[in-house]
Structure 1
């Protein structure tokens, strides 16, 4: 039986830069996403912020790297390589894709019937429930625990089909969270940015719990790692500890720009609300002065 990841040479600095593999399914999906976005930009009549296009480009580059570079070549051999893929799929790529505002671009370029269909889906009860703060948060913090504490991880290592489904699941869960929390695209349910910021900070604690579970817990794929019989690099325990650090520290570092974006939108929303309240108070004060008049301006009877 051919064991995925068996027989690979030691991962050196040179191999980290020069080892590549072809992943037709992943590359096809990435090309479809990039091509659709590019076509939307060509059809869009109004100016489009450059920062959104840059965010989309960065997301596509990262997806190519984790699916075709040395990270993908060694993902069946080294636990930390799978951890890097997981952090990118669940946290980094969804954040960048949400910042690219693809749904807003679609609304401005798709036919009216397609836009109406998207609108109905956005207003549906399922969409509203999925974007509730609790559900969206569970979509972010739950998948790693589901992957590592249910026996799914060894199955992912044995089956390319399961591995692909896990990757799509992580990316989809991350997108649900990032889109519903950043709220750059139209969402079924709006959440105050202050609540979102508090939830995002609390999730840092959850990353720490996952890191401790992986670091101090039992080895997750002993049978697979024994069959691979790797005689180079870190020990199985050290490899899993490094992967735990990737999820813990890497996940928190990757989330810092997200926290910054949420904080900036929170401050902007508060500033807009303050301006609105000030304008209403000024209007009420002006209306009151016009209604009552000043005593020396009142006409004599």
Structure 2
């Protein structure tokens, strides 16, 4: 039975995926001959087939590495087999990516294959100078590196970085998908990136479990599948949300669902619903029955059916990438300066009402905030069910911090920070100073270490990975209060006076990096001052106040420099948006300096107050501890001290 499953599961996935791809191409016309400069039938079918192989191999690569990192003991034979699957998948991913790049060149140029110098020179220019070619070249090179590392790396910590690199290999693909026209490009890239990564983890995990079935006895199988099921639930939510955003951007209205693109989307939705139902059956009935009876027959056939529906979704997804969207993706002939720079139309003049009414949703941070609140509250509920206490105000602080993060990354600040430096600086202050005060005070690491169950089978769950991260040498360095203060202060100069600022404004990935950077640097600094989570070293309270004052003095100096400066930062951006309302760009920049200098004082005062309160409580605790010790020893230390004074007095009298 297990041998049949190892063959039937992957075979069903591949066969169904190819059939779905051909059906989707027929429905959407993705392989239809082009009226002008047709590249030929081989290219028209070869390109989507190569992309399908890229998607399937990426799933095997990421799924195998993920299972090795979180579910399979490193000392077991299944761990080695999992990495072998990852290496083979990465090798196929590399070859398929190279073929996709090659077919993309033939499709774009409509050139016939030849072996002369002009063809090779044209291909070289495509791969090194054209954005599409550069993306597939980068994907191919990253896949080759991951292939080598999967053969060479067996250390779990090093394998984590290999997994991160495997995920990074999908980033160029996300940037080359349907752009959803001029408006909504950033949202389209974020949705497609999330869709690719989480769909790969979901599909790849199940595929690798089927391939490793021979080496998994029933107890181990139940454990691995239970862990995978939790990850699959998260993947299902992310894939559904990202798929909805992508469909909304490219379809726009319900009447367009009857177009070829809309019909393919409906098929994918049906496959996703079926997968959700199968996952619910797995979690509620099948895994429990497998653990109780040990019979695998129904479980494995359900796995084969699930892989079949995944094949439908994967095949139609590859066909969807070659299908024309109902909303045209052509650039409008006339664009405003704001659209050229930001990809979005200029928002209305900034007022209190427009600031509250304008929204620019970022799916990544919507999901981060939502999952952060759910997982934190789930941990608190688990503690209460176990009979442990957790202060209620910490939960309030955590929810408030994430709700503030949600608004900063999705609300009016995210709309106007592209056009007003003052709004950008206000968001910076909030991300690096206000939000970390709330999140650090909630003690998320302490809660995770108490709520997440400890593993005893040699695998590393989230609790084990958190402990390794907290006690790592890197964490010891960056969590050092002096280093955290230097990073917090120096990042102002390093960001605003280097090309990083331009990258964050022009590139969506740079924008996401900017948010993460501000949050992490601010979190480390606040943690060094008032944190309750475990850290390698904590400063005495007087030195914490000195560190706070020194860092904020540098912060104020930076704000004053902006207020008094005459040079415009990123002048070809903030000075070229075509904004015909509000202050001039230089006056707005000076207002941003005032925000950096003045508004930053509010979190500074709050931090100083919290440090003072903690200092006072620490002194009271120390006093109570000494009093209890004196009661236990009948004030032995005081008696010894008085005896020492009497002896000194006698010696002085004799002299």
Alignment correspondent of 1:12 = 351
Aligned counterpart for 1:56 among listed residues 378, 398, 402: 398
Query: TM (normalized to structure 2)?
Result: 0.42
Q: Distance between the aligned counterparts of 1:251 and 1:210, measured in 2? A: 11
Q: Distance between the aligned counterparts of 2:428 and 2:419, measured in 1? A: 15
Say whether 1:42 aligns with 2:381: yes
Q: Distance between the aligned counterparts of 1:88 and 1:255, measured in 2? A: 12
Aligned counterpart for 1:259 among listed residues 571, 584, 608: 608
Alignment correspondent of 1:142 = 490
Alignment correspondent of 2:420 = 78
Q: Distance between the aligned counterparts of 2:367 and 2:637, measured in 1? A: 65
Structure scoring higher RCO (CA < 8 A, sep ≥ 6) equals 1
Q: Distance between the aligned counterparts of 2:602 and 2:435, measured in 1? A: 14
The offset of 1:290, in angstroms, is 10
Aligned counterpart for 2:528 among listed residues 177, 180, 188: 180
Q: Distance between the aligned counterparts of 2:476 and 2:528, measured in 1? A: 10
**Which range moved further: 242-251 or 116-125?**
116-125
Q: Distance between the aligned counterparts of 2:622 and 2:380, measured in 1? A: 32
Alignment correspondent of 1:294 = none
SS at match of 1:147: helix
The offset of 1:273, in angstroms, is 2.1
Cα 1:290–1:225 change in 2 (3 A) is closer
Aligned counterpart for 1:205 among listed residues 553, 559, 562: 553
The offset of 1:277, in angstroms, is 3.5
The offset of 1:243, in angstroms, is 0.7
Q: Distance between the aligned counterparts of 1:158 and 1:165, measured in 2? A: 12
Map residues 1-301 of structure 1 onto 2, 5 A cutoff: 2-4=340-342, 7-44=346-383, 45=386, 46-113=388-455, 114=461, 115-217=463-565, 218-281=567-630, 286-287=635-636
**Which range moved further: 2-11 or 240-249?**
2-11
Q: Distance between the aligned counterparts of 2:485 and 2:542, measured in 1? A: 15
Q: Distance between the aligned counterparts of 2:464 and 2:411, measured in 1? A: 40
CA contact (8 A) 1:6 1:230 kept: no
The offset of 1:283, in angstroms, is 5.2
Unaligned 5+ residue runs, structure 1? 292-301
**Which range moved further: 205-214 or 278-287?**
278-287
The offset of 1:40, in angstroms, is 0.8
Q: Distance between the aligned counterparts of 2:628 and 2:381, measured in 1? A: 40
Q: Distance between the aligned counterparts of 1:174 and 1:288, measured in 2? A: 44
Q: Distance between the aligned counterparts of 1:47 and 1:201, measured in 2? A: 35
Alignment correspondent of 2:235 = none
**Which range moved further: 85-94 or 141-150?**
141-150
CA contact (8 A) 2:369 2:406 kept: yes
The offset of 1:288, in angstroms, is 7.7
1:4-35 per-position Cα deviation (integer Å, ceiling 9, x unaligned):
16532211222112111211111111112112
Q: Distance between the aligned counterparts of 1:205 and 1:288, measured in 2? A: 44
SS at match of 2:419: coil
SS at match of 2:575: helix
**Which range moved further: 83-92 or 38-47?**
38-47
Cα 1:15–1:284 change in 2 (3 A) is same
Q: Distance between the aligned counterparts of 1:263 and 1:176, measured in 2? A: 19
CA contact (8 A) 1:6 1:228 kept: no
The Cα RMSD (Å) is: 2.2
CA contact (8 A) 1:6 1:77 kept: no
Q: Distance between the aligned counterparts of 1:28 and 1:9, measured in 2? A: 28
Q: Distance between the aligned counterparts of 1:235 and 1:170, measured in 2? A: 27
1:136-182 per-position Cα deviation (integer Å, ceiling 9, x unaligned):
11122122221111132233221111011011011011111222321
